[in-house]
């Protein structure tokens, strides 16, 4: 750490006494000092404290006066006692932690500032309001996180349209048949679109999922009155894990006659839903549900009818409907999942019938088929984006840094003012106390204390004024590491 120095005309022995802003290094042990006449920023002190005299004066002395050379590399001596230094990476991590902890306290105004600047009371009121606002925002963020922990589903409508195109239907000769180079043909088109929810604005619209993402299989059967097409009369599509999503499917065949079409759609639900058996559906009053939700409904049914064994909580007694369903008088809870799976069946497919008509170039069914599906709520994506948005946090952090700098500047100005006021009240007495304190600091730094070992063993020795100065230097050195 480099310190900016401005030398004064004073001296101590053969060494100049500089006013130093920043740490004065003693074999790697930093001492943070600050003088009111320096132009650069200094370290802000907690409110209500005064600046020690040793903090206002630093020493730039030769290294042989700063410690014991015999202490070795990585060692420094202070008052005859060796101090071991930590590696640089530990010092850097510790300084980062200290900065984070001190960030909140650095935003507080210095003590008794309201008597000097009455308007500073408004800043204190803003701080109190900011605490309430931060608490409200934190509570709302926790509410959003709790809401996101539970899957948010909503019911939407998937609308399916069926149409067909006919081409080259006039290119038919009653004697020779049709021209092989340009045969008559038709194209069946199956398309689907997810309808927007009611009362949705254009700004809140999310990218719509494609039609194929809602189905896991599709089977198309062609019945042209005994005609067998070259490409086959049965078309099947199965969703694969890496399959692209499509808005529509097209099936093209050669022919000049109408054709009946049967479309079988199997919906893709995540998590997978099942159809409950008639007996289980009558007990739970549920027709379709996932496996986990069905087991949970059965657990609520057992609790509602007080079927759990009071002596052994692992078992529950079956009432007449459950005995008829499972065939047991008494069951363990782990057995319930396997028995319920036997009562679950795949969902019934959706069957759509249509007739391909070749009398017109384009024909569309007069019906549109609405399928109710369960999909993720669009609100969930918005809530996730709110939690993932770090731009606002960066802006708040930048404003906090600016506030800290302003408060430090105010604190430094108050320190200068207090220094000058004390000097103006009694210049001679102030200078005498200052020189006396500097002398004790020099003795402490150079290890030239005249106190005997017997004096150091007594408690009165540590009640002197220099103890506070030494503690201040020690804590400053510890914080910097």
Q: Confidence band (pLDDT; 50, 70, 90) for 465?
A: confident
Mind listing the pLDDT tens digit for each residue in 379-404?
Answer: 777 788 878 777 778 888 888 888 88
Higher pLDDT, 192 or 39: 192
Q: Confidence band (pLDDT; 50, 70, 90) for 145?
A: confident
Beta-strand runs (E) in 303-349: 315-317, 330-332, 344-345
- What pLDDT score was predicted for residue 54? 36
Hey, what domains does the chain have and what are their CATH numbers? 4-132+391-480 (no CATH), 153-269+348-376 (2.60.40.1970), 274-345 (1.10.245.10)
Which pTM was predicted? Answer: 0.51
CA 130: distance to chain centroid? 22
Phi-psi region of 212 (alpha: psi -120 to 50; beta: other; left: phi over 0): alpha
Q: Distance between CA atoms of 67 and 82, rounded to whole angstroms?
A: 8
Q: Confidence band (pLDDT; 50, 70, 90) for 165?
A: very high
SS3 363: strand
Q: Which of 22-36, 202-216, 438-452 has the highest mean pLDDT?
A: 202-216
- What pLDDT score was predicted for residue 241? 77
Mind listing the pLDDT tens digit for each residue in 107-130?
Answer: 788 777 888 888 888 888 898 898
Q: Distance between CA atoms of 383 and 145, rounded to whole angstroms?
A: 9
- What pLDDT score was predicted for residue 449? 56
- Across 237-251, average pLDDT: 87
- Across 174-189, average pLDDT: 73
- Across 11-15, average pLDDT: 34
- What pLDDT score was predicted for residue 5? 36
- What pLDDT score was predicted for residue 178? 57
Q: Please give the structure tokens belonging to residue 247.
A: 């808005």
DSSP letter at 308 equals B
Q: Distance between CA atoms of 329 and 64, rounded to whole angstroms?
A: 93
- What pLDDT score was predicted for residue 243? 75
Are 34 and 24 in contact, with CB atoms under 8 Å apart? Answer: no
- What pLDDT score was predicted for residue 187? 94
Q: Confidence band (pLDDT; 50, 70, 90) for 32?
A: very low
- Which of 29-38, 161-170, 282-291, 397-406 bottoms out in mean pLDDT, i.e. has the lowest? 29-38
Q: Confidence band (pLDDT; 50, 70, 90) for 240?
A: confident
Q: Which of 201, 188, 194, 187 is nearest to 245 (CA)?
A: 194
Mind listing the pLDDT tens digit for each residue in 58-109?
Answer: 333 333 333 443 333 344 444 444 444 444 444 444 554 455 455 555 778 8
Indicate whether 319 pLDDT > 90: yes
Mean pLDDT for all residues in the chain: 75
Higher pLDDT, 27 or 466: 466
Q: SS3 helix, strand, coil % of the chain, rounded to 5?
A: 40, 25, 35
- What pLDDT score was predicted for residue 206? 66
Q: Distance between CA atoms of 197 and 425, rounded to whole angstroms?
A: 77
Mind listing the pLDDT tens digit for each residue in 339-382?
Answer: 999 999 999 899 999 999 998 899 999 899 999 888 877 777 77
DSSP letter at 81 equals E
Higher pLDDT, 320 or 18: 320
- Which of 157-166, 231-240, 241-250, 298-307 bottoms out in mean pLDDT, i.e. has the lowest? 241-250
Q: Please give the structure tokens belonging to residue 133.
A: 């606002």
Indicate whether 215 pLDDT > 70: yes
Mind listing the pLDDT tens digit for each residue in 409-427?
Answer: 888 888 888 888 888 998 9
Instruction: Say if residue 280 is exposed, middle or buried (CB neighbours under 10 Å; 0-12, 13-18, 19+).
Output: buried
Q: Distance between CA atoms of 336 and 322, rounded to whole angstroms?
A: 11
H/E stretch holding 111 reads: none
Indicate whether 330 pLDDT > 70: yes
Q: Distance between CA atoms of 473 and 442, rounded to whole angstroms?
A: 13
Higher pLDDT, 3 or 383: 383
Are 158 and 371 in contact, with CB atoms under 8 Å apart? Answer: yes
Provide CB contacts within 8 A for 118, sequence distance 6+: none
- Across 439-452, average pLDDT: 67
- What pLDDT score was predicted for residue 368? 93
Q: Which of 350, 345, 370, 355 is nearest to 265 (CA)?
A: 350
Mind listing the pLDDT tens digit for each residue in 267-289?
Answer: 988 888 899 999 999 999 999 88
- What pLDDT score was predicted for residue 8? 34
Higher pLDDT, 316 or 225: 316
Q: Which of 330, 327, 340, 325 is nearest to 309 (CA)?
A: 330
- What pLDDT score was predicted for residue 94? 52
């Amino acid at each position: 750490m480099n310190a900016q120095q401005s030398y004064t005309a004073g001296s101590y022995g053969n060494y100049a006494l500089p006013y130093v802003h920043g740490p004065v290094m003693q074999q790697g042990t930093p001492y943070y000092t600050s003088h009111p006449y320096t132009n650069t920023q200094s370290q802000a002190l907690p409110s209500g404290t005064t600046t020690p005299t040793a903090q206002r004066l630093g020493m730039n002395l030769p290294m042989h006066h700063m410690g014991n050379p015999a202490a070795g590399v990585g060692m420094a001596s202070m008052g005859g006692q060796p101090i071991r230094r930590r590696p640089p990476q530990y010092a850097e991590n510790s300084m980062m932690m200290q900065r984070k902890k001190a960030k909140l306290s650095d935003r507080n105004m210095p003590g008794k500032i309201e008597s000097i600047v009455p308007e500073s009371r408004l800043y204190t009121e803003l701080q109190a309001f900011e605490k309430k606002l931060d608490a409200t925002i934190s509570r709302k963020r926790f509410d959003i996180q709790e809401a996101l922990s539970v899957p948010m589903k909503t019911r939407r409508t998937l609308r399916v349209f069926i149409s067909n195109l006919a081409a080259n239907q006039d290119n038919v000769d009653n004697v020779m048949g049709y021209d092989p180079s340009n045969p008559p043909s038709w194209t069946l088109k199956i398309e689907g679109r997810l309808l927007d929810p009611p009362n949705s604005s254009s700004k809140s619209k999310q990218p719509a999922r494609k039609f194929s993402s809602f189905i896991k299989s599709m089977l198309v059967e062609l019945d042209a009155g005994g005609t067998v097409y070259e490409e086959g009369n049965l078309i099947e599509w199965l969703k694969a894990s890496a399959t692209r999503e499509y808005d529509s499917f097209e099936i093209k065949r050669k022919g000049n006659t109408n054709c009946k079409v049967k479309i079988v759609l199997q919906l893709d639900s995540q998590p997978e839903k099942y159809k409950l058996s008639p007996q289980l559906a009558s007990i739970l009053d549920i027709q379709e549900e996932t496996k986990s939700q069905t087991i949970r409904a059965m657990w609520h049914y057992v609790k509602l009818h007080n079927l759990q064994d009071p002596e052994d909580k692992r078992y529950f007694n079956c009432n007449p409907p459950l005995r008829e369903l499972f065939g047991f008088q008494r069951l363990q809870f782990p057995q319930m999942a396997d028995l319920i799976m036997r009562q679950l069946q795949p969902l019934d497919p959706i069957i759509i019938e249509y007739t391909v008509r070749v009398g017109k170039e384009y024909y569309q069914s007069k019906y549109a088929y609405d399928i109710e599906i369960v999909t993720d709520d669009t609100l969930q994506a918005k809530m996730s984006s709110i939690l993932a948005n770090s731009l606002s946090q960066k802006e708040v952090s930048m404003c906090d840094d600016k506030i800290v700098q302003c408060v430090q500047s105010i604190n430094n100005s108050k320190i200068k003012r207090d220094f000058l006021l004390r000097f103006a009240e009694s210049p001679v007495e102030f200078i005498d106390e200052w020189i006396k304190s500097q002398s004790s600091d020099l003795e402490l730094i150079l290890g030239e204390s005249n106190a005997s070992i017997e004096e150091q063993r007594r408690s009165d020795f540590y009640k002197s004024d220099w103890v506070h100065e030494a503690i201040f230097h020690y804590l400053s050195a510890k914080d910097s590491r």
